[in-house]
Amino acid sequence: MRLYDTAKSAYVDFIPNDVVRIYVCGITPYDSAHLGHIFTFMTYDLLQRRLEDLGHKVEMVRNITDVDEPIYRRAQQLDIPYTELASQEIESFHSTLKTLNFRSLFAEPMASDYIDEMAEAVSKLLEEKIAYKVGRDIYFDTAKYPDFHNFSGFSERLLKGLFKLRGGDPGRVGKRQPLDFLLWKSVDDQSDPARWDSDMGHGRPGWHIECSIMSSATLGVPFDIHGGGTDLIFPHHSAEIVQSQALGFPQLANNWLHVSPLLSDGEKMSKSLGNLVFANDLLGDYEPSVIRLALMQYHHRIGGEWQPELLHDAQELLNGVRRVSTKTDKLNATNLISKIRSSLDDDINTLEVVDALKEFVRSKPGPQSTSTETLQIITKALTLIGIE
């Protein structure tokens, strides 16, 4: 299997062990799952399916970031407890993924369940002078890890822009370096619902420390693959790497995979931009297999503008596959599953998967109804990509 590794900026031969451990950064549950989420997580679902098809046990972990500022702001707007909002959106998310035929997970840690471990880690970094205080907030001193910038490969100017865009505070007075990131936020307001007691006082962890703790706690380190969207390369994954090193984990993950965004109106799907396409809305008109097939017409490392007409194309393709499946021979079926397997082994190339399905639809019909053995091969091929 060949995968593109962000850390190495190159394709690598991924040679899996009997058990493959994968950690994917999940949702912040303050709104419904949109196609951008589904596109990202489907990539890792396909990877899991192929690894299982190869005979490996896959320990797939996808966290839930239920400790983060967007949830609190959204809950205030709705005038409901943030825990109620998170619970509602997590339930909706689970329902959507189940409908879309996603594989089950090994674990789904929630940040709120690991506050003590996060506080302990921050305390250790503070004691070792790798972290420092600004007021009562605690920041990671990136000067202690000059390689902090290397993972992304981005220019210094771009790093500063992305840091601010993605929740950082480069201009805060008292910080040693603009890109030093928050480890612990002090919260004085006793009415704040997301305020935990710790050795650092009342407050809550910063976003980045959460995934270092949850990934190492559920999978151990180093695990095989760390995944997420390309928007997480900096600062989130860059921060994960250096703070994990500071905590005694020289290598958090052996390989890093990232999925490019699905766009709408030329921008990444985002609530703030109001350009979301919700999966649940599409499920009212299209069966799950159609939505999966439509998304497979994008390469995960390229992404692109969402085109609703692809749903029609996907429906036509699915109809064709079903039609041919009733009257074909073993050779066509064997070619189909072989090409799907080789496509997934080629950096999860779903464009080649779609081409294999189109070729199958164009194949010469068999002289009689499909045999049970042949139908089993076709079923296995479609199951491999989550199509029923």
pLDDT in tens, 232-284: 999 999 999 999 999 999 999 999 999 999 998 887 777 666 778 889 999 99
What's this model's pTM, rounded to 2 decimal places?
0.95
Helix axes 309-325, 350-362, angle to 10 degrees: 50
Residues 20/56, Cβ–Cβ less than 8 Å: yes
Cα–Cα distance, 219 to 254 (Å, whole number)? 13
Cα–Cα distance, 97 to 209 (Å, whole number)? 27
> Where would I find the H helices in 54-110?
69-78, 82-99
DSSP state of 278: B
Helix axes 115-127, 238-246, angle to 10 degrees: 70
Question: Which residue has 């950690």 as its token pair?
Answer: 23
Residues 335/361, Cβ–Cβ less than 8 Å: no
| Residue-level pLDDT, tens digit, the chain, 388 residues | 999 999 999 999 999 999 999 999 999 888 778 899 999 999 999 999 999 999 999 999 999 999 888 888 888 889 998 899 999 999 999 999 999 999 999 999 999 999 999 999 999 999 999 999 999 999 999 999 999 989 999 998 999 999 999 989 999 999 999 999 999 999 988 877 788 988 888 999 999 999 999 999 999 999 999 999 999 999 999 999 999 999 999 999 999 999 999 998 887 777 666 778 889 999 999 999 999 999 999 999 999 999 999 999 999 999 999 999 999 999 999 999 999 999 999 999 999 999 999 999 999 877 789 999 999 999 999 999 999 8
Tokens of 218: 């559920």
Q: What integer pLDDT is reported at residue 18 of this predicted model?
A: 97
Give per-residue pLDDT as tens, 327-385: 999 999 999 999 999 999 999 999 999 999 999 999 987 778 999 999 999 999 999 99
Q: Which domains does the chain have, with CATH numbers?
A: 2-268 (3.40.50.620), 287-297+307-383 (1.20.120)
Cα–Cα distance, 187 to 135 (Å, whole number)? 11
Q: What integer pLDDT is reported at residue 271 of this predicted model?
A: 66
Which residues, listed in sequence order, are joined to residue 228 by a DSSP beta bridge?
258
Q: What integer pLDDT is reported at residue 275 of this predicted model?
A: 76
Cα–Cα distance, 162 to 167 (Å, whole number)? 9
